[in-house]
Structure 1
Amino acid sequence: MRLTLSLSTLAFASLSLAQSHPLLSSGPMLGYSEMTEASIWVQTTQKATVQIIYKPKNSETWLKSNPTPTTTDNIATVILPNLPTGTKFDYKLTINDQEIKRNYPLEFQTQPHWRWASNPPLPPQLKIGLGSCAYFNESRPGFDRPGTPYGGDYEIFDALHKTRPDLMLWLGDNFYHREMDWLTEQAMRYRWRTDRAHPSIQPLLASTNNYATWDDHDYGPNNSDTSFRLKDISLQLHKEYWPQVVYGTPETKGVFTRFEWGDVEFFMLDNRYHRTPNDYPGGPAKTMLGKGQLEWLKQSLINSDKTFKIIACGGQMINPLVLFEAFGQFPTEQKELFDFIAQNNISGIMFLSGDRHHTELLKVQWPGASYPWVEYTSSPLGSGTGTRPNEQNNPARVPGTLVTEKRNFGLIQVSGPWRDRKLTLTAHDKDGAELWKHEVKESEMRAPRN
């Protein structure tokens, strides 16, 4: 055991040393990618100018982005516009005209233009990584609990990276504020900056497009809600560290957003900014999403023409066992949304969630819905594991999908020809070994047209 620990520590130290550079704090990280535009995020150790040098993989000609000066917290998000569609690129990072070499691939891609490019259409095959609850141990004494560190198994991020997902969905609790962190803006910035620089996640960030929502621990305190006094600081930090085309709407703040990749559309929900306290009296005023976000989601779902409509949230959405934080704590709002989906015959609905420190696949037939809905809960990536005895026999759980006592991540592979697509869901342990597999076919998620 001591030898194993020593070798693991040595490997981690070697990775840290190989990645260190006096000008680079963390990144580069791929943010969003669209058909003709991509974003790359970088955090430096001082005010600097960042530039990306890139080329299509089948080309020998290197191109340069516009020089981008760092802003708050020495962050620069480099926007690469006017790119060819469906193209894979190699790239290099320079800070103050110095190339910052990494010992792992620096690659990005643009989405393909597929819908009208052939008849029948050829939607792209897609691999999606997902996970939640990533606790990074604190090196400063007194900030973490004494005894055995709460976080660990950080090799899980290398295993995830080796699966080569096209995009990664961070499903909340993507890091953990400590008690001393959520009291001031600068303390919160310390936590964001420190945990984003963790060496274990850098290779994954550098070649996978990253999209994130939050849950309580990366928003603020445990079980935090709209009453959190620094919620607007938290919102600003999320926007700074997770670049996205747009967050919220002009009328409604939040980290909720929608984006598409191929014939899949993703709806990332915000279950914190507008959330009333868990102990708030029941009734229409008790809300998880808030009126503005709920209306945005309803309109977005009915507007979407994608094969699959994946709704991602920091907490569970369809679990009938409402023992802890879940959408079921807000029955009026939950019923309004789910009845809307059922009554409007919206096809291709699937839910993703994190939070629970265990993984499971749930399947629920909502009254009036023409097909059962599936929810994949994936947790944890790096925090503690476990489940409660009163949840062991959840009737909504797909048999064989409960994962406890193991840190794990999820994959969703989207494949198949037009009009006959399928989702292949798998769970994997910290070394990448498959724990379970489940398929959901497009034909099983098809509602009759109104």
Structure 2
Amino acid sequence: MAAWRFVALFGVWCALWSFALSQSHPLLSSGPMLGYAEMTEVAIWVQTSQEATVQLRYWQQGKPETSRLTDPIRATKAGDHIALFRLTDLPFGTRFEYELYLNGEYVKRDYPLVFQTQPHWRWRTDPPEFTIVFGSCAYFNDPVVDRPGNPYGGEFEIFQTMHRLRPDLMFWLGDNVYYVEPDWLTESAMRRRWRLSRQQPELQPLLASTHHYAIWDDHDYGPNNSDSSFRLKDAALRVFADYFPQVRYGLPDAPGCFYRFEWGDVEFFMLDNRTYRSPNNLPPSPDKRMFGKAQLEWLKNALKSSNATFKIIACGGQMINPMVYFEGFGLFPTEQQELFDFIARERITGVVFLSGDRHFGELLKVQREGCYPFYELTASPLTAEPANGHPDEANNPARVPGTWMRGKRHFGLIRVLGKRGERKLVLSLCDKDGKPLFEHTITESELRWQN
């Protein structure tokens, strides 16, 4: 009986907590959300429910005398009621607190509003230690358009669990919302889907205090398994960039949601696996590509020019899995071989892969002849329905034993630790309550060339 009472009380507490999260200012639709953070600049995103004037007040943590008030930004219907602040001339390596004002009125939040700038560490200190959470396949229910039957999305408390870890970075690795049939037909419908999904109450604390970086996969780009032929890919990129602000996306002559950025001594290469994608069902040939020639050339040049200890390549779909029964880089063998051969020929050190899409999680390890091992950590789903994969994948020879996360919503956790020259990545997959399935450490020495 005591256990039953505890469960009942816990359920009441969860309901009250969710209700408290949902209580908001009538002018606030969602946010604030932290975007990118550089050494002297940070992006903060806010969306209002109607036209309003938005301002932020921010100060160095513990130093209220450093308070500064931003110039007002008018969130208008033409701009999807989004106010994007790019705070500049900030001191590096500093943590800040901030407040939100709508039409001059202070908007109280019951969770921390904090952001940070990156440290200027080179030639001065060891590189910083930091924590990343990541995931993919976040379905936010909408009874108006969802399929009949049980809701496809659930266990949204996973976002609160992630927030409690106080991570520095959050990576959204595709299917960050799910366009359904009416959504991918017009830009206005795409924006409606993002606006509604971003309002999820449990999501707000994580948005407000962790810096967010994102790429897309098929469901937040267009229809299921969509490719370069999607008619509204330009509009999809406009919408995506509005909801996940970045320093820049793509190249002047090759638009897309790919980009690179650094955090400490780790560089991240965020890839677009949709804009230039050939149809999955084309037979293999040199012309069948997932990334396209321009993006792949950019990636190779970026890897070659990088001095980072770890070079993390993030993609919406799996990159190294030898068992490809659905989608994955293995459907594009010429392009896959081109990238892997380049890494080996140019002796690129420290490459690790991250991915989503599969509705299950796993850590893969592929040992190519004459090369250090390639690792790939896949995390999926966040809130969509979990899946079990193809039956033959139970015996995947590339999977690190004990790392297959099936039938559970979960997220990836990466801790970057250690002194200069002794850096390591500690990888985990955690369930919705934060319980890790496993912990696997990769040292920088493991990802070096031996001769």
Return the alpha-carbon distance in structure 1 between the equivalents of residues 208 and 59 of structure 2.
Answer: 16
- Are residues 1:27 and 2:28 paired? no
What is the aligned partner in structure 2 of residue 334 from structure 1? 336
Q: CA deviation at 1:146?
A: 1.7
Q: Alpha-carbon deviations, 1:92-123, whole Å to 9, x = none? A: 01122111111110000000010122xxx410
Return the alpha-carbon distance in structure 1 between the equivalents of residues 215 and 114 of structure 2.
Answer: 24
Change (3 A) 1:13 1:60: closer
- Aligned match for 2:428, one of 422, 426, 429: 426
Q: CA deviation at 1:338?
A: 0.7
Contact 2:382/2:409 (<8 A) preserved: yes
What is the aligned partner in structure 2 of residue 393 from structure 1? 395
- Are residues 1:86 and 2:93 paired? yes
Q: Alpha-carbon deviations, 1:265-292, whole Å to 9, x = none? A: 0000000011011112321111100111
Q: Secondary structure of 1:168's match?
A: strand
Return the alpha-carbon distance in structure 2 between the equivalents of residues 275 and 347 of structure 1.
Answer: 27
Q: How many residues align?
A: 442
Q: Alpha-carbon deviations, 1:337-361, whole Å to 9, x = none? A: 1100011111110000000000000
What is the aligned partner in structure 1 of residue 171 from structure 2? 169
What is the aligned partner in structure 2 of residue 316 from structure 1? 318
Query: Which residue identity lines up with residue 425 of structure 1 in the other structure?
Result: L
Deviates more, 1:348-357 or 1:97-106: 97-106
What is the aligned partner in structure 1 of residue 107 from structure 2? 100
- Aligned match for 1:39, one of 43, 47, 60: 43
Q: CA deviation at 1:5?
A: 11
Change (3 A) 1:212 1:377: same
Q: Alpha-carbon deviations, 1:121-151, whole Å to 9, x = none? A: 41000101111111111143xx112221111
Q: Secondary structure of 1:219's match?
A: coil
- Are residues 1:133 and 2:142 paired? no
- Are residues 1:361 and 2:363 paired? yes
What is the aligned partner in structure 2 of residue 374 from structure 1? 375
What is the aligned partner in structure 1 of residue 63 from structure 2? 59
Contact 1:220/1:234 (<8 A) preserved: yes
- Aligned match for 2:418, one of 413, 416, 419: 416
Return the alpha-carbon distance in structure 2 between the equivalents of residues 102 and 124 of structure 1.
Answer: 29
Return the alpha-carbon distance in structure 2 between the equivalents of residues 217 and 106 of structure 1.
Answer: 30
Q: Alpha-carbon deviations, 1:14-33, whole Å to 9, x = none? A: 13443x21111010000000
- Aligned match for 2:304, one of 302, 305, 310: 302
Q: With structure 2 as the length reference, what TM-score do the two structures score?
A: 0.95
* CA RMSD between the two structures: 1.6
Query: Which residue identity lines up with residue 304 of structure 1 in the other structure?
Result: S
Query: Which residue identity lines up with residue 437 of structure 1 in the other structure?
Result: E
Return the alpha-carbon distance in structure 2 between the equivalents of residues 226 and 12 of structure 1.
Answer: 43
Change (3 A) 1:344 1:131: same
Q: Alpha-carbon deviations, 1:301-354, whole Å to 9, x = none? A: 000001000000000000000111000100010111110001111111000000
Q: Which runs of 5+ in 1 are unaligned?
A: none
What is the aligned partner in structure 2 of residue 204 from structure 1? 206
Contact 1:131/1:379 (<8 A) preserved: yes
What is the aligned partner in structure 2 of residue 49 from structure 1? 53
What is the aligned partner in structure 2 of residue 383 from structure 1? 384
Contact 1:339/1:368 (<8 A) preserved: no
What is the aligned partner in structure 2 of residue 69 from structure 1? 74
Contact 1:338/1:366 (<8 A) preserved: no
Q: Alpha-carbon deviations, 1:44-65, whole Å to 9, x = none? A: 1112221110000131221112
Q: With structure 1 as the length reference, what TM-score do the two structures score?
A: 0.95
Identical amino acids, percent of aligned pairs = 59
Q: Secondary structure of 1:443's match?
A: helix
What is the aligned partner in structure 2 of residue 15 from structure 1? 20
Return the alpha-carbon distance in structure 1 between the equivalents of residues 299 and 147 of structure 2.
Answer: 39
